């Protein structure tokens, strides 16, 4: 079993190495290597899941040491438990579909072989994060994902916006990653080991202040990678990258990695109340922020990006109220329906060349399959029964309600906060989902040109993803299914009566409001977005003003100081020596009389001194 | 005297071979340029093999010199020809030999104006003797001797084969380092006066400062540290580095950044830490503060740079800051992180300078704005290697540079017993922030140089061209690839499996640090 784990991890990495070594024009070879390796990984991951979930003794580990610094030991290893294998399957499936989809999407792109290798590397890195048995190994995977995200966002070389977007994505997440690394190092030094199993086992023995500080530091990294407030500014800009990348990295996997890590290390987060409380506050803010801004966007992909920010906040909300199983449930459902939505948006983009909703419309006749699948995705997003999003969202809201009433493990006020924010977000989510649906597929077709044909490979991916979007919700129904797999038996992931009623009412009301507004003025935006919302509360500009601008100026000043003052002192020393030597060399007049006079004078002085003293 | 062992022969050979090679190269007539380059490759290749061969004779867990040579030389000044190799010295020796070999291979590809490959490689040979000798010397005066040998060849390498401001940069380099050497000599003589011997092994064996009074130790350490800090380079004694790197030819920059900088930190560990523990305890916090200041200043200065070579030079200041932070913790973890950081920096920065050298050969400029972007589109392999090297240098986990930086920070969480904890923890946090900010300047560099369409690259004059009026400029040639590939592979291998270097030095480091944890 453990060998299969190693293999699942190694295959995409080997494919990446092979892919980078391939010749630039070897499209066929690149596709075969990438898809083949990933297909194999996916199949093996299913075997792995069946194997691990089938046996009662869940946790399997295998590791070998790769570095020792004094007392600190770092190991490379694989740790299999229910959580890991479930997420591995999800990651592999989405990655495989994205790779297949990309073959068609990047059909006439010269950079495809490099792209495929980068996607393989990314998948390998994500699998490292999921399967890592050692915290430092997890950091390695975490950061490699970041660099792949950078490389892939900047894929469209000729697009001037892609460069700054890629740099911004990397730098904003790097700010978070400082905290993440410091947290990992703190845990390792305090616990004497970096092994995840050992650290979790000793969670109670460590000083709680240390664990709390470490968890807060880890949350910085989570905020960065998962695009939560205030480190969310990179995600909407990252949409300049190819759409399959947005589906894979910025919806289904990398942004969910933060949630996964917290779920993995949850015993540490339970030690003190502060980390989860902080997470709850961030979740509430981010949920509402993402949903409000999504309501005001014109670009299809940007709506989905802000939607991702908001939906991840649901997951972090689930963590904050002390029910990681609910968060993971939503992670899985979101991976399915958000990937579906992005890939469908890619089909729309590919077919019409447009991603601005003001230039789209009436596509439901021209692209029926895309229409149906995207409808499923949007319904799941809005949380309508019986789609997966309904059940996972209700699991989070139900958990928040239980915690608010004091029955759960988390702090009650956090539960109330997440519950209220969550319910409001339900309404907002339903609203922007409906708005997107109506503006894209209904109304009069804007452009005269008929949409291009979409390749069956791309459509096939949509259909495949539509299946879990519709039925995945069922895994939460029986407590020995998902809850059991995640080693949280007895946790109810079923919809709770009170919250379900409230959220359904809110959702339907929001949908109705948007539909009515649309009816009144079709082909016009049913929501009139204000600039404040459209510009995301000007947070980008605030970031530029407070961070980027001052940094540039400070850097220029320090460089100037270093050259003028410090180097100036050194150069001045040299010049000074030269000047002094010139002055002193005047003593060497060559005039013998002068020398004789000086010698006589000095002799007299010495004689007088000898007599007097 | 007992029979001479194979190891001892190798130990002496690793110095004799480059010396003879340098002599032969100097004597070769100028017209045999091609032959000179080949001879250079052969000699340095042989030296590399010998240096790897020094690994033989090592038993697992060997914490002292596993082969040494100790012969009398100049009894009047108590100078003995005492060489030895242990786990701390060996990786640095192999790194030196490897970089010299790769420089020789690179010289087959190109030698900058005014040519004269034979003389150039002869100077490199003398340089190699000085560098390897520094790492192998076990007598303080012998160490000083080899340390000084390095200066003159480097001066000529920069002054003759360098850029327009080369004379000034080379003079500054020599004078500044010489000033440091004076301080180093004072420190060495203080040790001699206090302990009565110049033998480094003996002094380390005696332990506890070898009988030197603590205040004298502090003075001696301050002198030694001050002298070596110029070489390391430690802020604020670093300003010779940007000029020297910018003006030096590619080979000079690679060896300067790859090896010369390591001599300073190696000296601090070998001479300062093991022989003068009380002095080290007193001055370690100062070292730590200056090191972290160097990290932050390096990061900020890099961001504002307009020239690629200067940018990499300042990045070296930052990297060496991490190495010195690790050393200043006086723990095994810190020293291990420092040693690994040294090797990683040598490999990665060597690769970076090779790439920049390639860019300079093709476009005759290393100014960022002039390079204009689009290298990745026009010369994909070169762009790819440069991207890889930049990513490795910013300390991405999974590549070699990460370990030294991260574990210097980790070691600073728990410095050695006699040091105050809180300042170190604060410094660790600041250092970690600095490590993260390094991404800012490297990504800016990549954005300005590699990213973007091919039309951004500079026009190269002469020859028929493509429709854009740009003559076809060759992507990475075979010889360039051969001289760069080992470094790229090492950056990856050490990133994934740093134990290769760490396990070699671990016993020796544990022994060395023992004086500080009592």
The 10s digit of each residue's pLDDT in B41-79 is 999 999 999 999 988 777 777 778 888 888 888 888 878
* First and final C-alpha spacing in chain B: 37
Q: How many structural domains is chain A composed of?
A: 2
Q: DSSP string spanning A67-135?
A: EEETTEEEEEEEEE-HHHHHHHHHHHHHHHHHHHHHHHHTTT-TTHHHHHHHHHHHHHHHHHHHHBSBH
pLDDT at A283: 94
pLDDT at B312: 93
CA gap B430, A103 in Å, rounded: 45
CA gap A120, A36 in Å, rounded: 11
Closest CA to B387 of B447, B316, B342, B454: B447
* First and final C-alpha spacing in chain A: 97
Among A residues 60-79, those touching chain B with beta carbons less than 8 Å apart:
65-72, 76
Query: Do B397 and A139 lie within an 8 Å CB cutoff?
Result: yes
CA distance B76 to chain A (A): 35
Among A residues 556-595, those touching chain B with beta carbons less than 8 Å apart:
556, 558-560, 562-563, 566-567, 570-571, 574
Q: Three-state DSSP class for B166?
A: helix
Query: Do A68 and B413 lie within an 8 Å CB cutoff?
Result: no
pLDDT at A57: 64
Q: Is the dihedral of CA B251, B253, B254, B256 positive or negative?
A: positive
Q: What is the mean pLDDT of chain B?
A: 88
Q: In this structure, are residues B308 and B249 in contact, taking their beta carbons and an 8 Å threshold?
A: no
Q: In this structure, are residues A347 and A430 in contact, taking their beta carbons and an 8 Å threshold?
A: no
Tokens of A68: 């020792």
pLDDT at B460: 61
Kindly state whether residues A479 and A592 are assigned to the same domain. Answer: no
Closest CA to A326 of A245, A425, A259, A261: A259
Structural domain containing residue A586: 544-612
Kindly state whether residues A348 and A249 are assigned to the same domain. Answer: yes
Which of A66, A142, A562 shows the shortest C-beta gap to B301?
A562
Closest CA to A295 of A457, A517, A533, A477: A533
Kindly state whether residues A491 and A359 are assigned to the same domain. Answer: yes
**Residues of B with Cβ-Cβ distance to A145 under 8 angstroms:** none
**Residues of A with Cβ-Cβ distance to B239 under 8 angstroms:** 562-563, 566-567, 570
Query: Do A178 and B332 lie within an 8 Å CB cutoff?
Result: no
Kindly state whether residues A122 and A20 are assigned to the same domain. Answer: yes
Query: Do B444 and A67 lie within an 8 Å CB cutoff?
Result: no
DSSP-derived pairing of the beta strands B67-74 and A72-80: unpaired
**Residues of B with Cβ-Cβ distance to A171 under 8 angstroms:** 439-440, 443
pLDDT for residue A2 is more than 90 = no
CA distance B453 to chain A (A): 5
Question: Picking from A183-187, A207-211, A395-399, A448-452, which range would have the lowest pLDDT averaged per residue?
Answer: A448-452
Query: Do B402 and A555 lie within an 8 Å CB cutoff?
Result: no
Which of A163, A167, A555 shows the shortest C-beta gap to B452?
A163
Closest CA to A148 of A3, A216, A250, A62: A250
Q: What interface predicted TM-score (ipTM) does this complex get?
A: 0.89
CA distance A589 to chain B (A): 28
Q: How many CB pairs under 8 A join A and B?
A: 134
Query: What confidence tens digit (pLDDT) does each residue in A370-404 have?
Result: 899 999 999 999 988 888 888 889 889 988 988 88
Kindly state whether residues A451 and A570 are assigned to the same domain. Answer: no
pTM metric for this prediction:
0.90
CA gap B15, B35 in Å, rounded: 22
CA gap A199, A79 in Å, rounded: 13
Token look-up 């992005």 returns A342
Q: DSSP string spanning A318-346?
A: HHHTT-HHHHHHHHHHHHHHHHHHHHHHH
Closest CA to A362 of A299, A440, A432: A440
pLDDT for residue A446 is more than 70 = no
pLDDT at A605: 92
Query: Do A157 and B240 lie within an 8 Å CB cutoff?
Result: no
User: Per the domain annotation, does A532 fall within a domain?
Assistant: no
pLDDT at A479: 67
Q: What mean pLDDT is predicted for residues A93-102?
A: 93
**Residues of A with Cβ-Cβ distance to B380 under 8 angstroms:** 24
Interacting residues of B272 by C-beta distance below 8 A, sequence separation 6+: B221, B224, B225, B228, B279, B280
Q: Which residue of A has its CA nearest to B405?
A: A181
CB neighbours (10 Å) of residue A530? 10
pLDDT at B465: 41
Q: Which of B337, B439, B455, B498 to mutate to test the interface with A (most CBs of A within 10 A)?
A: B439
**Residues of B with Cβ-Cβ distance to A193 under 8 angstroms:** none
Q: Which residue of B has its CA nearest to A176?
A: B436
Q: Which residue has the higher pLDDT, B424 or B74?
A: B424
Query: Do A72 and B407 lie within an 8 Å CB cutoff?
Result: yes
Query: Do B409 and A150 lie within an 8 Å CB cutoff?
Result: no
Q: In this structure, are residues B211 and B299 in contact, taking their beta carbons and an 8 Å threshold?
A: no
**Residues of A with Cβ-Cβ distance to B398 under 8 angstroms:** 140, 143-144
Phi, psi (degrees; rounded to nearest 5) at A243: -60, -40
Domain boundary among A527, A553, A570: A527
Query: What confidence tens digit (pLDDT) does each residue in A205-231 have?
Result: 889 899 999 999 999 999 999 989 888
Kindly state whether residues A566 and A517 are assigned to the same domain. Answer: no
> How are the residues of chain A apportioned to helix, strand and coil, as percentages rounded to the nearest 5?
75, 5, 20
pLDDT at A111: 84
Query: What confidence tens digit (pLDDT) does each residue in B426-481 have?
Result: 999 999 999 988 888 898 889 888 887 777 777 665 433 444 444 567 788 888 88
In three-state form (DSSP H/G/I as H, E/B as E, the rest C), the secondary structure along A409-432 is: CCCHHHHHHHHHHHHHHHHHHHHH
pLDDT for residue B121 is more than 90 = yes
Q: What mean pLDDT is predicted for residues B365-371?
A: 83
DSSP secondary structure code for residue B71 in this structure: E
Query: What confidence tens digit (pLDDT) does each residue in B388-405 have?
Result: 999 999 999 989 999 999
CA gap B287, B289 in Å, rounded: 6
CA gap B455, A228 in Å, rounded: 38
CA gap A207, A189 in Å, rounded: 12
CB neighbours (10 Å) of residue A516? 10
pLDDT at B492: 93
Query: Do B333 and A69 lie within an 8 Å CB cutoff?
Result: yes
Question: Picking from A102-111, A438-447, B326-335, B361-370, which range would have the lowest pLDDT averaged per residue?
Answer: A438-447
Q: What mean pLDDT is predicted for residues B270-292?
A: 90
Closest CA to A276 of A89, A403, A121, A386: A403
Kindly state whether residues A73 and A113 are assigned to the same domain. Answer: yes
Interacting residues of A410 by C-beta distance below 8 A, sequence separation 6+: A276, A280, A320, A321, A322, A323, A403
Closest CA to B371 of B290, B473, B287: B473
How far CA B24 is from CA of A193, A394, B35, B123, in Å, comes to 54, 82, 11, 11
CA gap A582, A573 in Å, rounded: 14
Kindly state whether residues A332 and A455 are assigned to the same domain. Answer: yes
Q: In this structure, are residues A99 and A19 in contact, taking their beta carbons and an 8 Å threshold?
A: no
Kindly state whether residues A201 and A320 are assigned to the same domain. Answer: yes
Which of B301, B398, B410 shows the shortest C-beta gap to A72?
B410
Closest CA to A70 of B338, B401, B94: B338
Among A residues 136-175, those touching chain B with beta carbons less than 8 Å apart:
136, 139-140, 142-144, 147, 150, 154, 157-158, 160, 163-164, 166-167, 170-171, 174-175
Q: What mean pLDDT is predicted for residues A103-122?
A: 89
User: Per the domain annotation, does A536 fall within a domain?
Assistant: no
**Residues of A with Cβ-Cβ distance to B409 under 8 angstroms:** 181-182, 185
Query: Do A182 and B429 lie within an 8 Å CB cutoff?
Result: yes
Q: Does A180 touch chain B (CB under 8 A)?
A: no
Q: Does A554 touch chain B (CB under 8 A)?
A: yes
pLDDT band at residue A297 using 50, 70 and 90 as cut-offs: confident
Query: What confidence tens digit (pLDDT) does each residue in B128-157 have?
Result: 999 999 999 999 999 999 999 999 999 999
**Residues of B with Cβ-Cβ distance to A24 under 8 angstroms:** 380
Which of B305, B332, B502 shows the shortest C-beta gap to A67?
B502
Kindly state whether residues A311 and A395 are assigned to the same domain. Answer: yes
User: Per the domain annotation, does A306 fall within a domain?
Assistant: yes
Kindly state whether residues A99 and A162 are assigned to the same domain. Answer: yes
**Residues of B with Cβ-Cβ distance to A562 under 8 angstroms:** 239, 297, 301
Rg (CA), chain B: 22
Q: Burial level of A613, CB count in 10 A (0-12/13-18/19+)?
A: exposed
Q: Which residue of A has its CA nearest to B402?
A: A140
**Residues of A with Cβ-Cβ distance to B303 under 8 angstroms:** 551-552, 555, 559
pLDDT band at residue A490 using 50, 70 and 90 as cut-offs: low
Q: In this structure, are residues A233 and A289 in contact, taking their beta carbons and an 8 Å threshold?
A: no
Q: What mean pLDDT is predicted for residues B164-185?
A: 90
Q: Which of A17, A65, A69 to mutate to test the interface with B (most CBs of B within 10 A)?
A: A69
User: Per the domain annotation, does A355 fall within a domain?
Assistant: yes
**Residues of A with Cβ-Cβ distance to B444 under 8 angstroms:** 167
Q: Which of A10, A16, A67, A550 to mutate to test the interface with B (most CBs of B within 10 A)?
A: A67
Percent of chain B's residues with pLDDT above 90? 50
Q: What mean pLDDT is predicted for residues B114-126?
A: 90
Which of A154, A186, A559 shows the shortest C-beta gap to B304?
A559
User: Per the domain annotation, does A85 fall within a domain?
Assistant: yes
User: Per the domain annotation, does A467 fall within a domain?
Assistant: yes
Q: What is the mean pLDDT of chain A?
A: 87
CA gap A129, A258 in Å, rounded: 10
Domain boundary among A496, A527, A558: A527
User: Per the domain annotation, does A535 fall within a domain?
Assistant: no
Query: What confidence tens digit (pLDDT) does each residue in B88-108 have?
Result: 999 999 999 999 999 999 998
Buried-exposed string B452-466: b where 16+ CB fall within 10 A, e elsewhere: bebebbbeeeeeeee
Domain boundary among A527, A561, A585: A527
User: Per the domain annotation, does A533 fall within a domain?
Assistant: no
Q: At what angle do helices B332-363 and B401-413 cross, to 10 degrees?
A: 150
Kindly state whether residues A507 and A550 are assigned to the same domain. Answer: no
Q: Which residue of A has its CA nearest to B509?
A: A70
Closest CA to B380 of B466, B479, B451, B444: B451
pLDDT for residue B326 is more than 60 = yes
**CA triple A353-A357-A362, angle to 5 deg:** 85
pLDDT at B517: 62
């Amino acid at each position: 079993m453990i060998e299969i784990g190693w293999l699942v991890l190694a295959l995409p990495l080997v494919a990446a190495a092979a892919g980078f070594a391939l010749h630039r024009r070897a499209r066929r070879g690149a596709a075969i290597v990438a898809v083949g390796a990933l297909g194999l990984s996916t199949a093996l991951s299913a075997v792995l899941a069946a194997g691990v979930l089938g046996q009662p003794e869940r946790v399997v580990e295998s590791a070998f040491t790769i570095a020792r610094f004094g007392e600190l030991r770092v190991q490379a290893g694989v740790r299999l438990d229910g959580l890991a294998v479930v997420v591995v399957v999800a990651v592999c499936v989405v990655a495989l579909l994205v790779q297949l989809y990309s073959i068609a999407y990047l059909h006439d792109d010269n950079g495809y072989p490099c792209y495929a290798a980068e996607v393989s590397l990314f998948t390998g890195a994500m699998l490292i994060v999921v399967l890592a048995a050692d915290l430092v190994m997890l950091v390695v995977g975490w950061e490699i994902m970041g660099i792949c995200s950078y490389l892939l966002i900047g894929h469209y070389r000729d697009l001037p916006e892609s460069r700054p977007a890629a740099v911004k994505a990397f730098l904003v997440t790097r700010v978070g990653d400082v905290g993440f690394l410091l947290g990992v190092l703190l845990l390792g030094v305090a616990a004497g080991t970096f092994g995840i199993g050992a650290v979790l086992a000793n969670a109670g023995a460590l000083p709680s202040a240390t664990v709390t500080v470490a968890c807060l530091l880890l949350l910085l990294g989570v905020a960065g990678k998962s695009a939560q407030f205030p480190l969310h500014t990179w995600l909407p800009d990252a949409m300049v990258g190819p759409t399959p990348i947005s589906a894979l990295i910025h919806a289904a996997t990398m942004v969910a990695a933060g949630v996964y890590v917290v779920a993995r290390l949850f015993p540490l987060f339970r030690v003190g109340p502060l980390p989860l409380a902080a997470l709850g506050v961030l979740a509430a803010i981010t949920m509402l922020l993402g949903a409000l801004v999504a309501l005001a966007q014109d670009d299809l992909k940007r709506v989905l990006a802000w939607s991702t920010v908001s939906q991840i906040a649901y997951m972090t909300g689930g963590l904050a109220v002390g029910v990681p199983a609910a968060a993971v449930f939503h992670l899985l459902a979101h991976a399915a329906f958000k990937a579906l939505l992005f890939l469908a948006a890619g089909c729309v983009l590919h077919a019409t060349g447009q991603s601005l909703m003001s230039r789209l419309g009436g596509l439901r006749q021209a692209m029926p399959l895309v229409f149906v699948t995207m409808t499923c995705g949007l319904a799941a997003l809005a949380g309508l029964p019986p789609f997966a999003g309904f059940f996972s969202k209700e699991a989070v809201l139900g958990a928040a309600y239980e915690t608010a009433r004091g029955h759960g493990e988390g702090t009650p006020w956090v539960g109330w906060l997440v519950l209220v924010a969550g319910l409001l977000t339900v309404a907002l989510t339903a609203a922007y989902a409906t708005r997107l649906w109506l503006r894209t597929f209904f109304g009069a077709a804007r452009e005269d040109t008929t949409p291009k044909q979409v390749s069956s490979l791309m459509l096939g991916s949509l259909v495949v993803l539509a299946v879990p979007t519709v039925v995945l919700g069922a895994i939460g129904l029986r407590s020995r299914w998902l809850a059991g797999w995640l080693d949280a038996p007895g946790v109810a992931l079923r919809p709770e009566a009170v919250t379900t009623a409230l959220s359904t009412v809110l959702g339907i009301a929001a949908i109705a409001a948007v539909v009515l507004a649309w009816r009144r003025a079709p082909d016009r935006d049913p929501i009139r977005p204000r600039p404040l919302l459209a510009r995301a509360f000007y947070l980008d500009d605030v970031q530029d003003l407070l961070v980027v601008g001052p940094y540039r100026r400070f850097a220029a000043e320090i460089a100037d100081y270093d050259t003028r003052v410090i180097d100036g002192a050194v150069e001045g020393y040299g010049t000074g020596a030269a000047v002094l030597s010139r002055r002193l060399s005047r003593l060497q007049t060559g005039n013998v009389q002068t020398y004789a006079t000086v010698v006589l004078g000095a002799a007299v002085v010495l004689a007088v001194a000898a007599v007097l003293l | 005297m007992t029979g001479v062992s194979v190891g001892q022969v190798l130990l002496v050979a690793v110095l004799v071979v480059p010396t003879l090679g340098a002599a032969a190269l100097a004597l070769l007539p100028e017209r045999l340029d091609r032959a000179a380059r080949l001879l250079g490759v052969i000699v340095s290749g042989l030296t590399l093999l010998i240096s790897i061969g020094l690994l033989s004779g090592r038993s697992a867990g060997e914490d002292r010199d596993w082969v040494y040579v100790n012969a009398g030389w100049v009894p009047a000044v108590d100078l003995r020809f005492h060489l030895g190799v242990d786990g701390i010295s060996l990786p640095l020796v192999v790194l030196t030999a490897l970089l010299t070999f790769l420089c020789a291979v690179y010289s087959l590809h190109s030698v900058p104006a005014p040519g004269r490959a034979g003389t150039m490689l002869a100077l490199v040979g003398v340089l190699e003797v000085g560098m390897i000798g520094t790492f192998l010397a076990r007598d303080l005066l012998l160490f000083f001797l080899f340390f000084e040998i390095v200066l003159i060849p480097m001066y000529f390498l920069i002054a003759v084969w360098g850029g327009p401001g080369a004379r000034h940069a080379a003079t500054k380099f020599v004078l500044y380092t010489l000033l440091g050497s004076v301080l180093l000599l004072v420190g060495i003589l203080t040790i001699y006066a206090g302990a009565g011997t110049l033998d480094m092994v003996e002094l380390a064996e005696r332990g506890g400062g070898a009988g030197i009074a603590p205040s004298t130790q502090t003075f001696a350490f301050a002198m030694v540290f001050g002298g070596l800090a110029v070489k390391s380079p430690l802020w604020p004694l670093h300003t010779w580095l940007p000029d020297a790197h910018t003006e030096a030819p590619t080979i000079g920059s690679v060896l300067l950044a790859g090896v010369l900088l390591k001599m300073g930190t190696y000296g601090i560990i070998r001479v300062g830490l093991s022989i003068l523990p009380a002095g080290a305890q007193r001055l370690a916090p100062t070292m730590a503060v200056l090191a972290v200041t160097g990290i932050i200043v390096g990061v900020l200065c890099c961001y504002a740079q307009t020239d690629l070579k200067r940018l990499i030079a300042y990045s070296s200041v930052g990297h060496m800051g991490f190495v010195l932070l690790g050393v200043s913790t006086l723990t095994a973890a810190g020293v291990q992180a420092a040693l690994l950081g040294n090797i990683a920096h040598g490999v990665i920065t060597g690769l970076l300078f090779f790439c920049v050298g390639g860019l300079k050969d093709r476009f005759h400029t290393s100014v960022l704005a002039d390079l204009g972007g689009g290298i990745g589109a026009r010369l994909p392999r070169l762009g790819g290697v440069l991207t890889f090297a930049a990513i490795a240098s910013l300390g991405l986990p999974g590549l070699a540079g990460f370990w030294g930086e991260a574990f210097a920070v980790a070691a600073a969480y728990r410095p050695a017993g006699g040091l105050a904890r809180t300042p170190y923890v604060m410094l660790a946090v600041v250092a970690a922030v600095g490590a993260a900010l390094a991404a800012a300047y490297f990504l800016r560099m990549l954005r300005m140089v590699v990213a973007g369409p091919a039309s951004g690259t500079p026009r190269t004059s002469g020859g028929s061209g493509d429709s854009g009026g740009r003559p076809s400029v060759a992507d990475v040639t075979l010889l360039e690839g051969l001289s760069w590939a080992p470094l790229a592979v090492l950056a990856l291998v050490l990133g994934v499996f740093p134990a290769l270097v760490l396990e070699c030095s671990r016993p020796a480091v544990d022994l060395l640090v023992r004086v500080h944890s009592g």
